[in-house]
Structure 1
Amino acid sequence: MTAAVALLGRMRTGEATSGPVVTSLAPMEHESPEVGRRVDGGRPVDVAERGLGDGASRGAATERGLGDGASRGAATERGLGDGASPVDVAERGLGHGALLGDVAELGDGASPGDEGSAGRGGVIRLAVGSAPAGGAEGGGASALSGAGTADGAAVGSALLASSGVWPSGGEDAAVEAGRDGSAGVTGSVGPRARGQAPTITVDVREAAAAFRDERYFQIDGEVVVGWAPLSGDYRTAGGGWVRLHCNFDHHREAVLRALELPSDAGKEDVINACAGRTAPDIEQAVTDAGGCAAAMRSRAEWHEHPQGRAVAELPLIAFSRLDHQNSQPPAAHSGANSPAPATHRTDAGSSGGGAAGRLRGRPLEGIRVLDLSRVISGPVATRAMASFGADVLRVGAAHLPEVPGLVVSTAFGKRSCELDLRTREGAAAFRELVAGADVIVQAYRPGALDRLGFGPADLAAIRPGIVCVDISAYGHRGPWAGRRGFDSLVQMAAGIAHEGGDGTRPVPLPAQLLDHATGWFAALGAVAGLIRREREGGSWHVQACFARTALWLDELGRIAGGEIGEPDMSDLLDEMDSQFGRLTYVRAPGVIDGVRPYWSSPPPRRGEHPPRW
């Protein structure tokens, strides 16, 4: 995503748009030599094929066409080689009208096992060529896909090239991960017409901390509790498990109705009720009652499930062109209503890094983003865009419940208004906002906004040139396409929690990874849509979902390395004054040309601002 932002910034300032992005990755310091080796497919396969490079020997990724001495175009079967067809391999999601370009050698200049005791790989080089002009033809769908980095920055170059957002021309570029002790993702966006190419860096520790930022977030030194008392995993009849999501009052009420319990029922009541019914029965009953639940399934069960099969047919990030294909990008917005600067620490370790450490003329300045999301994934996407200068206006409603701590922690750099889209006045005010927006990110249940007259096609009619980003739990196809869901539920349904507990009990990932990864993919899709709009005009529809992100994660393989203790991330935290108190938070990851993205304002109070730009 960081690479995509850098490219868009160049395009918006009139700099040359030829040339691909260079990205690379080095492992975190605490990783052992075994970490980074896939163990799921018989022989260990170095995940340098995924760009991880930890202790990887040359030629480790030959199966991907990236091995030592691999000829250019050796990976054509993966859609990575020279001359790959415009409609690429679906499993890699390389998209309609896209050519990723040539793949050069892996491990140039690396000695097998160099610094293996520290778990550090050698230099990894991956040359990625430019896509042809025109990108996707007509209204065909395309997709973005990739692997290997926490926030999507390192794969940004390949994703953008694969989606056809690169302009024509340009030269091959190399990916390098050095052995100098730094841990990070670095890259640059092609040769500039003026000056040097920007250098893009994402430290792996920063990315890992960002994926767990709600665990580090504090208000006046106190950690914010995020789970309601009845939310959790429950053993069911027949040895199964079900997870109930009760963070919102109406979801809790739906659970109690489905379990035939009174409104004042407590934890023990729910435990006893679940013990007498099967997990699939509870899952369906809660869903029918308008609540959120998921039975624990194994990977094999999910892969055979109708929804699991439907998800497997989806690209990681779906990309399609809406109507109004001749629409052009708008004139730059004045930004007069952008949030006022916040008070940051000025020591060298702060996110601002002092005035010299901040992005001046940030690449997304003037881009207006409407945020219609409430929990983690959507707010993470728009918060990331705000850190690069986008004017983000969150649109909530007084009748919609929220999780207070999460709303605060994901609202840095944003403004907040409230509108009831069910009313004539609220709908009219929202149309005015849409008419001046560049991007809309929404994470309501699929079809919810369509029923109010604000589906993607409706929004494109109101504002030709809009980029609509939809985030869902289970995707837009299949029998569960309209089902409510959250990260923890999808981990249960898709086999992640089952595998974590060896099938005997649910053990989730140590982070809300599906939420955060999908949020970053959504942000990447939004920026890629803006790039497409700059190049081709048109309105664009981007779709991402937790279940497809879970499949992407599953496809990355497994690693051996044992338990890793809780890392000390204190050096990655910053502080900011706010109306809520003194906030401690994880700084925005990524650096472009030595300067960091940052949030220019603290989180606002709910509905603090008027509904206007």
Structure 2
Amino acid sequence: MEITGGEDVLPGPFRVAAAASLSIAAATLAAAELARLKGTEPGPVSVDTGHAAAAFRSERYLRVDGGLPPDAWQGLSGDYRAADGWVKLHCNYPHHGEAVRRALNVPDSREAVGEAVARRTAWDVQEAVIAEGGAAAAMRTRAQWLAHPQGQALAGAPLAEFTAIGPAPVPPPRPSTSDRPLGGIRVLELTHVIAGPVAGRVLSAHGADVLHIGAAHLPTLPMLAMDTGFGKRSAHLDLRTAAGRDRLWELVAEADVFVQSYRPGALAGLGFTAEKLAQASPGIVLVELDAYGWQGPWARRRGFDSLVQMAGGIAAETATGKPEPLPAQALDHATGWLAGAAAMTGLRRRALEGASLRARLSLARTGRWLDELGRTEGGAAEPDVTDLLEKTESGFGTLTHVRVPGILPGAMPYWAHGSPLPGADAAMFSSPAAA
């Protein structure tokens, strides 16, 4: 395994480029092990740091028909100065914007929100928005986060926690003519935003049949659907209905991997618990992602990369008058790549040991890992990524995008097709049913 290139491809003191290289290397090495199980010699794995860093900013370089895609940051989203510091409000989804307006008792106006926030403490604003079902985070220093009960809950947590959710016989390989590492593997993906969709995108790059399940009544961010949908199918199911849940159970019975990134408890509340998933598909690998970790007082709290950066001391470290984010949505992307690696590791264990497994990861635990990597001087100039881009036709039009990073000579990763429009496909896998 070789990592090439220096870390000066991204600005800032955090070792984001190193985290990118390491997490992409983890996924590529996991794919190499699956290739060996299929009798393919994968060859020496390598990752270029510049390519990895560009992949961690893939949404920044995305173009559709030569133009910019719709901006993902919408509405009242942004950093606001409170009476004692800063608070970030995440309002990219309409219902989160409504929660902010209810919490602050203001109209749909950034000026009104700013005035209301300025009269209150950052913590008070955060908790008021959370109580209304919204998403917000007050800016804390690293020391404050490490002393916080949720920061302490992460101290003993592994980067990816594996547990068995039931014994299972080693399942026979699904018939497949593909010699790709994940050829014949079916993945059900119930995710949104970046981290979960990136995990599915990683698996599709190595040959998995990935079916993303969304819903027509739920909001989507077109730019992120364009950027993370490569190689997947996309279908809609309304899990509020018995028919929608029944169809999802039918798909679970056919799936090898189930990736979900909804708020902890949301899918379990509909009956899709880990134990029932393992009963429906013995040998399934369940990969779950959340924001703040799976233990502690914030385990069920809504969160996004930008909020975890605020809460976890990252945005405060180099703040000069206002919060300073990382040069990429690095917690999202790293967690997504590590989740892809966890899914493939689970599949290898399943093949060798026979078990239904669950892997859990969180943005906040990934943030702690990034902190533990130390600091670097960072780069200054915006890197030239021209040689890392390619064009692919999609349901949205012609997408210019960063190609898959990671070198696996015997089974190079690639996306078989571009991103589909949300809900464009039938709720079924594209690969043949198991015999």
Q: TM-score, with normalisation over the residues of structure 1?
A: 0.66
- Structure 1 residue 484 and structure 2 residue 302: aligned? yes
Matched residue SS, 1:592 = coil
User: How far apart are the structure 1 equivalents of 2:9 and 2:130?
Assistant: 41
Structure-1 residue corresponding to 2:367? 550
After superposition, the Cα gap between the structure-2 partners of 1:312 and 1:612, relative to the gap in structure 1 and judged at 3 Å, is same
Q: Aligned pair count?
A: 428
Structure-2 residue corresponding to 1:222? 67
1:25 maps to a residue whose letter is I
User: How far apart are the structure 1 equivalents of 2:236 and 2:205?
Assistant: 22
Structure 2: gaps spanning 5 or more residues: 430-435
After superposition, the Cα gap between the structure-2 partners of 1:468 and 1:195, relative to the gap in structure 1 and judged at 3 Å, is closer
Structure-1 residue corresponding to 2:213? 395
Structure-2 residue corresponding to 1:24? 2
Q: CA deviation at 1:242?
A: 0.2
CA contact (8 A) 2:176 2:183 kept: no
User: How far apart are the structure 1 equivalents of 2:192 and 2:9?
Assistant: 34
CA contact (8 A) 2:3 2:21 kept: no
CA contact (8 A) 2:61 2:402 kept: yes
Q: CA deviation at 1:253?
A: 0.2
CA contact (8 A) 2:140 2:316 kept: yes
Alignment deviations for residues 347-367 of structure 1 (CA, whole Å, 9 cap, x no partner): xxxxxxxxxxxxx72111110
Structure-2 residue corresponding to 1:276? 119
Structure-2 residue corresponding to 1:306? 149
Structure-2 residue corresponding to 1:466? 284
Of 145, 152, 162, which residue of structure 2 is paired with 1:319? 162
Of 68, 89, 92, which residue of structure 2 is paired with 1:247? 92
After superposition, the Cα gap between the structure-2 partners of 1:330 and 1:418, relative to the gap in structure 1 and judged at 3 Å, is farther
After superposition, the Cα gap between the structure-2 partners of 1:189 and 1:472, relative to the gap in structure 1 and judged at 3 Å, is closer
CA contact (8 A) 2:180 2:411 kept: no
User: How far apart are the structure 2 equivalents of 1:230 and 1:193?
Assistant: 50
- Structure 1 residue 499 and structure 2 residue 342: aligned? no
CA contact (8 A) 1:243 1:295 kept: yes
Q: Percent of aligned positions with the same letter in both sequences?
A: 51
Q: CA deviation at 1:230?
A: 1.1
Matched residue SS, 1:312 = coil
Larger helix proportion of the pair? 2
Matched residue SS, 2:25 = coil
- Structure 1 residue 154 and structure 2 residue 132: aligned? no
CA contact (8 A) 1:311 1:548 kept: yes
CA contact (8 A) 2:209 2:232 kept: yes
Of 329, 343, 354, which residue of structure 1 is paired with 2:171? 329
After superposition, the Cα gap between the structure-2 partners of 1:194 and 1:423, relative to the gap in structure 1 and judged at 3 Å, is closer
Structure-2 residue corresponding to 1:57? none
After superposition, the Cα gap between the structure-2 partners of 1:151 and 1:30, relative to the gap in structure 1 and judged at 3 Å, is closer
Of 314, 325, 332, which residue of structure 2 is paired with 1:508? 325
After superposition, the Cα gap between the structure-2 partners of 1:401 and 1:195, relative to the gap in structure 1 and judged at 3 Å, is closer
Structure-2 residue corresponding to 1:525? 342
Q: CA deviation at 1:598?
A: 1.1
- Structure 1 residue 584 and structure 2 residue 375: aligned? no
1:391 maps to a residue whose letter is D
Q: CA deviation at 1:382?
A: 0.5
Q: CA deviation at 1:314?
A: 1.0
Alignment deviations for residues 54-111 of structure 1 (CA, whole Å, 9 cap, x no partner): xxxxxxxxxxxxxxxxxxxxxxxxxxxxxxxxxxxxxxxxxxxxxxxxxxxxxxxxxx
Structure-2 residue corresponding to 1:235? 81
Structure-2 residue corresponding to 1:361? 179
Alignment deviations for residues 526-578 of structure 1 (CA, whole Å, 9 cap, x no partner): 001001100111100000000000000000111125x4211110110000122
- Structure 1 residue 414 and structure 2 residue 260: aligned? no
Structure 1: gaps spanning 5 or more residues: 1-22, 41-46, 53-146, 166-186, 336-359
Alignment deviations for residues 135-174 of structure 1 (CA, whole Å, 9 cap, x no partner): xxxxxxxxxxxx75535243569x97xxxx9xxxxxxxxx
Root-mean-square deviation (CA, aligned residues, Å) is: 2.8
Task: Flag the structure with larger Rg.
Answer: 1
Structure-2 residue corresponding to 1:294? 137
Of 79, 97, 103, which residue of structure 2 is paired with 1:258? 103
User: How far apart are the structure 1 equivalents of 2:269 and 2:39?
Assistant: 48
User: How far apart are the structure 2 equivalents of 1:498 and 1:222?
Assistant: 34
Q: CA deviation at 1:189?
A: 9.8
- Structure 1 residue 612 and structure 2 residue 428: aligned? yes
User: How far apart are the structure 2 equivalents of 1:189 and 1:395?
Assistant: 25
User: How far apart are the structure 2 equivalents of 1:384 and 1:197?
Assistant: 17
Of 341, 352, 377, which residue of structure 2 is paired with 1:560? 377
Alignment deviations for residues 372-408 of structure 1 (CA, whole Å, 9 cap, x no partner): 0111001101101101110000000112111111012
1:203 maps to a residue whose letter is D
Matched residue SS, 1:405 = helix
- Structure 1 residue 569 and structure 2 residue 385: aligned? yes
User: How far apart are the structure 2 equivalents of 1:193 and 1:258?
Assistant: 55
Q: CA deviation at 1:610?
A: 1.3
Q: CA deviation at 1:606?
A: 1.5
Matched residue SS, 2:383 = coil
User: How far apart are the structure 2 equivalents of 1:194 and 1:477?
Assistant: 40
Alignment deviations for residues 254-289 of structure 1 (CA, whole Å, 9 cap, x no partner): 011001113xx2111111111011000000000000
Of residues 516-525 and 190-199 in structure 1, the stretch that sits farther from structure 2 once superposed is 190-199
After superposition, the Cα gap between the structure-2 partners of 1:188 and 1:386, relative to the gap in structure 1 and judged at 3 Å, is closer
Structure-2 residue corresponding to 1:455? 273
User: How far apart are the structure 2 equivalents of 1:595 and 1:467?
Assistant: 22
Higher relative contact order (CA 8 A, sep 6+): 2
- Structure 1 residue 379 and structure 2 residue 197: aligned? yes
After superposition, the Cα gap between the structure-2 partners of 1:604 and 1:190, relative to the gap in structure 1 and judged at 3 Å, is closer
Q: CA deviation at 1:201?
A: 2.0
CA contact (8 A) 1:302 1:495 kept: yes
Structure-2 residue corresponding to 1:168? none
CA contact (8 A) 2:34 2:344 kept: no
User: How far apart are the structure 2 equivalents of 1:588 and 1:469?
Assistant: 21
Q: Which residues in structure 2 correspond to 1:402-441 (within 5 Å)?
A: 402-441=220-259
Alignment deviations for residues 235-261 of structure 1 (CA, whole Å, 9 cap, x no partner): 0012x0000000000000001100111
Q: Which residues in structure 2 correspond to 1:126-165 (within 5 Å)?
A: 149-150=20-21, 152-155=23-26
Q: CA deviation at 1:197?
A: 6.0
- Structure 1 residue 593 and structure 2 residue 409: aligned? yes
CA contact (8 A) 1:287 1:293 kept: yes
User: How far apart are the structure 2 equivalents of 1:191 and 1:387?
Assistant: 17
Structure-2 residue corresponding to 1:206? 51
Matched residue SS, 1:601 = coil
After superposition, the Cα gap between the structure-2 partners of 1:449 and 1:217, relative to the gap in structure 1 and judged at 3 Å, is same
